[in-house]
Structure 1
Amino acid sequence: MLKKMKDFTRELSFKTSRSSGAGGQNVNKVETSVTVMWPVSETKMFSAEDIELIKDKLRNRINAEGVLQLTVSESRTQLQNKKIAVQKLLELVNRSLVRQKPRKATKPSKRQIEKRIQAKKQISEKKEQRKFRF
Structure 2
Amino acid sequence: MAIPILPALSLPESELEVSYILASGPGGQNVNKVATAAQLRFDAAHSPSLPDRIRERLLELAGTRATRDGVIVITARRFRTQIRNREDAIERLVALIREAAHRPAFRVATRPGRAARQRRLDGKAHRASIKRGRSTRFED
Alignment TM class, shorter chain as reference: 0.7 to 0.9
| Secondary structure at the counterpart of residue 65 of structure 2 | coil
Query: Take 2:16 and 2:75, find their aligned partners in 1: how far apart are those partners?
Result: 13
Q: Does the Cα contact within 8 Å between 2:37 and 2:75 map onto a contact in 1?
A: yes
- Report the counterpart of residue 51 of structure 1 in structure 2: 55
- After superposition, the Cα gap between the structure-2 partners of 1:43 and 1:116, relative to the gap in structure 1 and judged at 3 Å, is same
- Report the counterpart of residue 115 of structure 2 in structure 1: 111
Question: Sequence identity, in percent?
Answer: 27
- After superposition, the Cα gap between the structure-2 partners of 1:31 and 1:120, relative to the gap in structure 1 and judged at 3 Å, is closer
Report the structure, 1 or 2, having the larger strand content: 2
Q: Does the Cα contact within 8 Å between 1:5 and 1:94 map onto a contact in 2?
A: no
- Of 4, 7, 23, 1:4 maps to 7
- Report the counterpart of residue 80 of structure 2 in structure 1: 76
| Secondary structure at the counterpart of residue 35 of structure 1 | strand
| Secondary structure at the counterpart of residue 58 of structure 1 | helix
CA offsets per residue over residues 75-128 of structure 1, 9 Å max, x none?
21111211111111111121122121132222222322233344566658x97x
TM-score by length of 2: 0.74
Runs of 5+ in structure 1 lacking a partner? none
Relative contact order: is structure 1 or structure 2 higher (C-alpha 8 Å, sep ≥ 6)? 1
Q: Aligned-pair RMSD on alpha carbons?
A: 2.7
Describe how 1:91-106 pairs up with structure 2 within 5 A. Answer: 91-106=95-110
Q: Which amino acid aligns with 1:39?
A: D
Q: Does the Cα contact within 8 Å between 1:58 and 1:96 map onto a contact in 2?
A: no
Query: Take 1:89 and 1:46, find their aligned partners in 2: how far apart are those partners?
Result: 13
- Is the aligned partner of 1:23 residue 2:35? no
TM-score by length of 1: 0.77
Range that drifts further, 59-68 or 32-41: 59-68
- Report the counterpart of residue 33 of structure 1 in structure 2: 37
